[in-house]
Structure 1
Amino acid sequence: MGSTDKTILLDIADGVATITLNRPDRLNSFTAAMHEELREAVGEVRDDKAVRCLLLTGAGRGFCAGQDLSDRAVAPGAQGPDLGVSIETNYNPLVRSLRALPMPVVCAVNGVAAGAGANIALACDIVLAARSASFIQAFCKIGLIPDSGGTWTLPRLVGHARAMGLAMLGDKVSAEQAEAWGMIWKAVDDDRLMAEAGALARQLATQPTRGLALIKQALNASSANDLDTQLDLERDLQREAGRTHDYREGVAAFVEKRAPKFEGR
């Protein structure tokens, strides 16, 4: 782990990189400096060939309260800040990098996920949340729109009507309600969250990583494609998957009736 003055902690073990948002006194709300540290950490994860799964979580009692409104980069002034600069510089690249990361991204939501914090969590591949956690599209409370992909992700996860209600009302959604609505994979007991998330990440890290990355690529593309385009994409990605070491190992293990030993290549 890094030193406690860092706003982002990175730990790598057993093929799993764990990134922890580390401003617990401010519910891990984002500043420009924190974004910079997070970019560096995600880049390190992407470039480390030993890493086969990313686990994202928060320190303390919250996952992420979104943007720190006291940060000078976004604090309202006489003429109002250009929030588009913050989004273009920080939030959009983060969402894009998480979705493009060639490995599974697991998110363990340990407490409130509000504003951009909620939508960053929902941009991850598999989301677990403590039962005490909640998701809040808080933007409408201060005259803003959901960003960090929220207006794209929410309707696809929960449907148009619920997405509109969540965005316009800013209601709190419990972890169990989020699971029931299909926003997240699973709600788990608070004291089991990190154990379950860690076990899931370690399991994913033993699987055919390139194959999982291709699954991620195909599913992420599906909402924008018609059926014919998606069928062609499946053909192309399956061709790529069929040329991997892990496909050969998986078939050999099946034929030989043994457990496969995937190497992530």
Structure 2
Amino acid sequence: MLDPRSLYLRSMMLKREEVPSFRTYPFSLPAVHDFYSLSFQKPVTFIIGENGSGKSTLLEAMAIAWGFNPEGGTLNFSFETKSSHSDLYRYMRLAKGVVRPRDGFFFRAESYYNVATNIDQLDAEEGSGPHIRDSYGGKSLHEQSHGESFFATFMNRFGGRGLYLMDEPEAALSPLKQLSMLTRMHQLVTKQSQFVIATHSPILMTYPHAEIWLLDEEGMRQVALEETEHYIITRKMMNDREQMLDILLEEET
């Protein structure tokens, strides 16, 4: 397991003095507007927050600043389907560890289809030569269900000693597959890997000793799992389902 002093990504800082205006997107987002720096202390870090809080924007900037393609994939991917990423990465400074990772992947659920398409296109150009899909399990990602293709990448392409940045990896995974992903994450952490994950999944957030950073109107702060709405609401719904449904489905009188 990686020692905190040997993490591949040690910290990131917003070069606030270079930001043209905090009144324009993405700098107007509360999570960015009040952001100064973030230090990573654990091999697994979760970034959480409501939709629109800026967690995906922050993770995207981190990934591009590291050198990943904005739409995802390994450092070798350079395709562009649609230029929709923000300029935030231009104002981010990353502090890297002394040891460089041997592997890496930027996984983002919303553009994963584009990554799968690019792999098929590159394999078609190679003809009968070695195929990229071989490192993803040997089968086209488009010939699998959404969830199966996600999991094929986690199981086959992620090899260890890597930096893995992931944006909502649970999007197409069943609860059982999310539990399996916890197991896979732990296998990779024991192989000296580092994860930074933007997520809504209370299941993934249970990973032991992980750091959880919450983005909200007040900016960014570290929280415990039990303090997150994800945990509180899920627990309340499971333990007091009838009461919750009475409140949610109460007819107007």
TM-score by length of 2: 0.30
TM-score by length of 1: 0.29
- State the structure with bigger RCO (CA 8 A, min sep 6), 1 or 2: 2
